[in-house]
């Protein structure tokens, strides 16, 4: 997992100008932490003991084990983590959290306002009235409620059940609405890796169409405006072999079933796609993974960049055999 955080001096020039961050949100970000700057190289444990007016080693360990310490906005529990001048240390004023473990998802980033996770294929983002099974939303709710029964997480966007990869959740309603209301301006880059049925003719290209659901909730695509939502997907072929294509997909828009329907439009559907595929399912799963997500933090305005390796099984399909 690759995580990068940079501070942008100017807003990105996207379809429309990003709106100014309300001052009260920046203030709220600072209020939940005690913040310190690292001035000389040292280990995290030693820094905490000095910064907190000579607290004991036991107290410092407790802060780390309860996941209350952030190094450059990332929760850090390693007592001998090496610090460098210029790093920012924050100690959360919230109650500490216990270690998180789940076979269905992994937390790749957490702060006081957001959670970024990598979910496994087959896990719903959130349940419906008809689907009451375990979901990413319910698992994360259980996790944050260990620190207080009033805590909960909020869905910002979704991945299809059978798609694996990166997802963002908010930890309060204000952050949720900030992300959703400014989504087109906040998100800088969303990319997926997929394995497609057949070998793509073009090295790269763009699919543009209008997507609309019929009465059976099947999304269909029209090359002319049919009153649906305009969808744009850019694709780049990484490798072709053995009757498959490994492709990178970049979303200019984020519509329901967009990638799956657009790959069907190309006559090269995503492997394992029961709804929009051709029956080709060598992996026993949908071969679609959200591997890259870059967005501006809804409170601090930092550019957050996350990248996760795609499943090794994807690569094996396009390894040339003798």
Structural domains of the chain in order of their starting residue, each with its CATH number: 2-8+23-35+99-317 (3.30.2350.10), 36-88 (3.10.290.10)
Q: Is the pTM of this model over 0.75?
A: no
Predicted local confidence at residue 302, as pLDDT = 85
Structure tokens at 269: 């559907």
**How far is it, in rounded angstroms, from Cα 252 to Cα 255?**
10
Identify the weakest region by mean pLDDT among 119-133, 149-163, 211-225. 119-133
**What number is the average pLDDT over the span 99-107?**
85
Among candidate residues 178, 183, 133, the one with its CA nearest the CA of residue 158: 183
pLDDT of 7 higher than 70: no
| Mean of all residue pLDDT scores within the chain | 86
Among candidate residues 162, 119, 161, the one with its CA nearest the CA of residue 308: 119
Q: Give me the phi and psi of 62, to 5 degrees please.
A: -65, -40
Predicted local confidence at residue 56, as pLDDT = 87
Catalytic residue (one of 111, 160, 162, 273) = 160
Buried b (16+ CB within 10 A) or exposed e, 203-235: eeeebebbbbeeeeeebbbeeeeeebbebebbb
**How far is it, in rounded angstroms, from Cα 13 to Cα 214?**
35
Share above pLDDT 90 across residues of the chain, in percent, rounded to a whole number: 57
**How far is it, in rounded angstroms, from Cα 47 to Cα 80?**
10
Predicted local confidence at residue 14, as pLDDT = 43
Query: How would DSSP label each residue in 41-62?
Result: -EEHHHHHHHHTTS--HHHHHH
Angle at Cα 121 formed by Cα 119 and Cα 127, nearest 5°? 75
245 CB-near residues (< 8 Å, 6+ apart): 195, 196, 198, 199, 200, 237, 239, 268, 318
> What is each CA distance from 112 to 36, 90, 298, in whole angstroms?
16, 11, 11
Residue 299: Cβ within 10 Å count: 23
- The 10s digit of each residue's pLDDT in 223-262 is 999 889 999 999 999 999 999 999 999 999 888 899 999 9
Predicted local confidence at residue 116, as pLDDT = 94
Predicted local confidence at residue 127, as pLDDT = 84
Predicted local confidence at residue 100, as pLDDT = 78
For residue 195, the SS3 value is strand
Predicted local confidence at residue 149, as pLDDT = 84
Predicted local confidence at residue 13, as pLDDT = 44
Q: Quick check: 153 and 141 in contact, CB under 8 A?
A: yes
- pLDDT confidence tier of residue 142, bands split at 50, 70 and 90: very high
Bigger pLDDT: 2 vs 145: 145
Angle at Cα 187 formed by Cα 272 and Cα 147, nearest 5°? 85
Query: How would DSSP label each residue in 285-321?
Result: S--EEEEEEEEE-TTT-EEEEEE-PPPHHHHHHTS--
Predicted local confidence at residue 217, as pLDDT = 84
Among candidate residues 299, 295, 302, 303, the one with its CA nearest the CA of residue 26: 299
Give the range with max mean pLDDT: 58-72, 82-96, 168-182.
168-182
Among candidate residues 47, 167, 195, 51, the one with its CA nearest the CA of residue 109: 167
Predicted local confidence at residue 81, as pLDDT = 87
Instruction: Judge whether 160 counts as a catalytic residue.
Output: yes
- pLDDT confidence tier of residue 176, bands split at 50, 70 and 90: very high
Cα 292 to chain centroid distance, Å, stands at: 7
Q: Give me the phi and psi of 320, to 5 degrees please.
A: -70, 135
Among candidate residues 246, 280, 288, 305, the one with its CA nearest the CA of residue 74: 305
**How far is it, in rounded angstroms, from Cα 152 to Cα 96?**
15
């Amino acid at each position: 997992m690759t995580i990068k955080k940079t501070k942008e001096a100017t807003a990105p020039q996207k379809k429309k100008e990003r709106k100014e961050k309300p001052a009260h949100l920046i203030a709220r970000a600072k209020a939940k932490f005690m913040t310190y700057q690292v001035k000389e190289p040292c280990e995290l444990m030693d820094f905490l003991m000095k910064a907190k007016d000579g607290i004991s080693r036991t107290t410092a360990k407790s802060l780390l084990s309860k996941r209350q310490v952030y190094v450059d906005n990332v929760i850090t529990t390693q007592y001998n983590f090496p610090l460098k001048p210029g790093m920012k240390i924050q100690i959360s004023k919230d109650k500490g959290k216990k270690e998180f473990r789940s076979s269905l998802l992994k937390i790749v980033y957490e702060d006081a306002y957001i959670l970024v996770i990598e979910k496994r294929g087959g896990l719903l983002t959130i349940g419906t009235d008809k689907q009451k099974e375990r979901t990413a939303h319910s698992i994360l709710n259980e996790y944050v409620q260990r620190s207080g029964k009033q805590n909960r997480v909020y869905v910002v966007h979704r991945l299809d059940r059978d798609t694996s990869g990166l997802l963002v959740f908010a930890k309060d309603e204000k952050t949720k609405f900030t992300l959703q209301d400014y989504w087109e301006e906040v998100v800088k880059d969303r990319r997926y890796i997929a394995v497609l049925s057949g070998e793509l003719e073009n090295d790269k290209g763009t699919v543009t169409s209008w997507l609309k659901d019929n009465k059976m909730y099947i999304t269909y695509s029209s090359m002319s405006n049919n009153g649906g939502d305009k969808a744009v997907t850019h694709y780049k072929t990484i490798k072709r072999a053995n009757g498959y294509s490994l492709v990178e997909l970049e979303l200019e828009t984020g519509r329901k079933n967009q990638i799956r329907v657009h790959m069907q439009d190309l006559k090269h559907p995503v492997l394992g796609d029961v709804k929009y595929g051709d029956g080709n399912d060598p992996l026993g799963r949908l071969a679609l993974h959200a591997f890259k997500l870059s967005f501006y933090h809804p409170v601090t305005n930092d550019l957050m960049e996350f990248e996760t390796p795609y499943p090794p099984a994807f690569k094996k399909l396009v390894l040339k055999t003798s």
